[in-house]
């Protein structure tokens, strides 16, 4: 047959005849673990030590310039997003405050106060010259 399709008897190709294949390898690993548990414990300790070493080495190394730039840009992105959110909230509030503000400007007492305020501000501006 073509491409070795006549090998093995299983439909998925994982089931091989004899001791070959993935299942055979798993069986032999299980048999070795049962016969030599100290070897399995040493292998587990070595893997755990390697993992801890990698984590500690990664934590203690200084950040590269590229990583520093990425951290700064992420921080700026968060701050910019916050400013935009604050501005959109303020703009929305201003649109809701516009009708009451226009009603206040229609009040003659408020109009007189604003006229006095503007007259004093203009007078102070031109008095210094």
Q: Per-residue pLDDT tens for 12-39?
A: 555 555 556 778 877 887 888 888 888 8
Asked if residue 35 belongs to a domain, the reply is yes
Asked if residue 50 belongs to a domain, the reply is yes
Q: Which domain holds residue 29?
A: 19-61
Query: For residue 40, what are the CA distances in angstroms to 31, 46, 47?
Result: 11, 10, 11
Asked if residue 82 belongs to a domain, the reply is no
Asked if residue 116 belongs to a domain, the reply is no
> Can you give the pLDDT at residue 9?
53
How many structural domains are present in the chain?
1
Q: Is the pTM of this model over 0.85?
A: no
pLDDT band at 48 (very low <50, low <70, confident <90, very high): very high
Asked if residue 129 belongs to a domain, the reply is no
Q: Which residue has the tokens 């509030």?
A: 93
> Can you give the pLDDT at residue 11?
54
Asked if residue 12 belongs to a domain, the reply is no
Kindly report, residue by residue over 111-124, the tens digit of the pLDDT: 898 899 989 988 88
Do 116 and 123 touch, CB atoms closer than 8 A?
no
Asked if residue 115 belongs to a domain, the reply is no
User: Both tokens of residue 96?
Assistant: 């809701």
> CA-to-CA distance for 32 and 25, rounded, in angstroms?
11
CA dihedral for 15, 19, 24, 27, sign (positive or negative): positive
Asked if residue 126 belongs to a domain, the reply is no
């Amino acid at each position: 047959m073509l491409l070795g399709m006549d090998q093995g008897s299983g439909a998925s190709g994982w089931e091989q005849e004899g001791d070959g294949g993935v299942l055979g390898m798993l069986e032999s690993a299980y048999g070795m673990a049962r016969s030599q548990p100290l070897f399995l414990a040493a292998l587990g300790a070595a893997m755990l030590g390697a993992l801890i070493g990698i984590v500690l080495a990664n934590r203690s190394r200084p950040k590269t310039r590229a990583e520093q730039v990425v951290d700064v840009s992420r921080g700026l992105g968060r701050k910019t997003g916050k400013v935009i959110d604050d501005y959109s909230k303020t703009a929305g509030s201003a649109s809701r405050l516009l009708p009451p503000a226009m009603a206040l400007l229609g009040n003659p007492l408020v109009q007189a106060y604003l006229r006095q305020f503007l007259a004093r501000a203009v007078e102070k501006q031109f008095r210094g010259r």
